[in-house]
Amino acid sequence: MENVIMSPLKLLLRNTPQEWDDATRNTAHLLTGTDRDHPPEWIKAHYGEAFPEIECFENYALNDLVAKRADLLLADGGFKRIIPLTEADVLRAAWLRERHGLTGIRPEDAVHMRDKFLMKQRASAGGVPVAEFRKVRNAFELLDFADTVGYPVVLKPIAGKGSADTYILDSEAELDALLSEGIFAGIEREPDMLAEAFVEGTQLRVDGYYSQGVCRYMSAARYVGSHIDFLHGGFMGSAMLDARGDLSRRAVAFTRNLLENVLPFGPEGLFHVELWERPDGELVLGEAAQRLGGGSIFEENRAGFGVDFKMAAVHAFCGFDAYDWPPTEALQQRISGQTTISPRVGVLTKVPETAPFDWVLDYTCAPAGRRYQAMRHTNGEIATFIVSGETSDQVEERLRTCVAWFYANTEWSDA
């Protein structure tokens, strides 16, 4: 075997064993997670034909034994590549490459894809528009920043993921309420938080991958709902943009400049870039990540463009020739969209198993009869819809229809 793939369980399950086998050609040792519905025995039985070796870890994203095991594997020799797919493994993989002399992005560069302060420093120095920002280590620095830029103010961990512990403070009263909870005083070490001026406008995202220094796939979409709403029991989705349209072309050009000329992205990797279009049309960087986008972004792209860029990226990262696809302007078959809905706190007692709309391409839901908790990260959805439409506006309208229908047809108990 030549490759070690690091993938949380959720990403593994969203493709079939045959799709993984086609992508890796049986060349990869898999390090993945496990949960109560998918014990190691089940994972190995279902995915064993795609991976000669599979090792499973509880609490995968926060388990440092994953890095220890990868270190031992690479020390034995024979492996040429370490392949991370999500945020949790970006720096793990970079340190492993450095320790074992493997090709790929190193820690001093990879940190720019995790540390949002360094990312925005580099972007600003490279001429990329960013909202005003400041590293804040205590209440005084946050108060000074709010006095300078005014409200709303965004506060987030510098190296956070999944929108956890991110706040939009609309007033001094909301800032005071947060301070009363000990956002700084309650931490045993001096915290590093990032404060940003809030950007008014439309939130966009651009996703895809590079291999061998070449952009192989890149598509743009606009968000429907928000990450913060999603974390607090709401929904979040996106509607693909027409790849031939002006906004899509500008978002793609913005992202290519960012990844190819400004940030030390490296010759290959998946990417997920969030940006804003201000009312005057200016594009402003939100943040960039060297990972697969969350939610059902790759499924949404598969529905709209007819290709699976996630598996195509894995195929290329495993050392095989990249697929020869036309540009996304020519590849796009239809406008698609996706939304995910977060759970309530309580027992889900009733949930519909099918959706009654012919434009819903895929609908999945969590099982009834279980107790669910509030999410801490934007990866614990209870339902997902993939839809199609004639335009981005129609797709957004249909996504909102799906959300309303789901809320009206589910039942919860606090018992």
Q: 271-329, pLDDT tens digit by residue?
A: 999 999 999 999 999 999 999 998 889 999 999 999 999 999 999 999 999 999 999 99
Position 198 scores a pLDDT of: 92
Q: Give me the percent of the chain exceeding a pLDDT of 70.
A: 95
Residues 8-63 have pLDDT tens digits of 999 999 999 999 999 999 999 999 999 988 999 999 999 999 999 999 999 999 99
- Taking only Cα atoms into account, the Rg of the chain, rounded to an integer number of angstroms, comes to 21
Position 376 scores a pLDDT of: 61
Residues 337-362 have pLDDT tens digits of 999 988 888 899 999 999 999 999 99
Position 330 scores a pLDDT of: 95
Residues 6+ apart with CB under 8 A from 250: 283
In angstroms, the CA 214 to CA 403 distance is: 38
Evaluate if residue 163 carries a pLDDT over 90. no
In angstroms, the CA 252 to CA 160 distance is: 25
Please give the residue that has the higher pLDDT: either 221 or 369: 221
pLDDT tier for residue 81 given thresholds of 50, 70 and 90: very high
Residues 174-218 have pLDDT tens digits of 999 999 988 887 666 666 889 999 999 999 999 999 999 999 999
pLDDT tier for residue 379 given thresholds of 50, 70 and 90: low
pLDDT tier for residue 377 given thresholds of 50, 70 and 90: low
In angstroms, the CA 329 to CA 33 distance is: 36
Please give the residue that has the higher pLDDT: either 308 or 163: 308
In angstroms, the CA 260 to CA 210 distance is: 10
- Mean pLDDT score across all residues of the chain: 92
Evaluate if residue 99 carries a pLDDT over 70. yes
In angstroms, the CA 249 to CA 273 distance is: 14
Q: Give me the percent of the chain exceeding a pLDDT of 90.
A: 79
Return the beta strands (E) in 37-142 as ranges.
53-57, 81-84, 133-136
